[in-house]
């Protein structure tokens, strides 16, 4: 009976390893917590851009990976691109901003 309990405990422990490892992040992929954090950052950046009267009608895409925000799309001027980058940098949790905005 004792052997059976040990075998069951071992099998349960063995089955939990993929669950624990599956939540960890790496260089090229995010952990569950990082993904959630990045989703929040992306939402805040989009809200900030949409809340700005000079930028809200422009086509700006926002993607976040491990706190690094990628801005892409089209803007009307260099000033608009600079404004979008400045607003993005002010968002809590943003570590870096990569500006791929194209001036039409």
* Segment 7-41, tens digit of pLDDT: 777 666 666 666 555 555 666 777 888 889 999 99
CA distance 64 to 98: 10
pLDDT category of residue 102 using cuts at 50, 70 and 90: very high
Instruction: Note the pLDDT of residue 17.
Output: 63
Cα 14 off chain centre by: 31
Q: Is the pTM of this model over 0.85?
A: no
CATH code of the domain made up of 30-103? 3.30.1340.30
Compare 80 and 13 and report the one with higher pLDDT: 80
């Amino acid at each position: 009976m004792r052997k059976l309990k040990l075998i069951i405990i071992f099998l349960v422990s063995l089955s939990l390893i993929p669950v624990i490892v599956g939540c960890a992040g790496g260089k090229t992929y995010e952990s569950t917590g990082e993904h959630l954090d990045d989703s929040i950052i992306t939402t805040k950046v989009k809200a900030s851009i949409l809340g700005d009267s000079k930028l809200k009608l422009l086509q700006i895409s926002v993607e976040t990976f491990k706190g690094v925000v990628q801005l892409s799309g089209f803007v009307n001027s260099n000033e608009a691109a600079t404004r979008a980058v400045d607003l993005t940098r002010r968002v809590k949790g943003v570590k870096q901003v990569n500006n791929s905005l194209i001036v039409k």
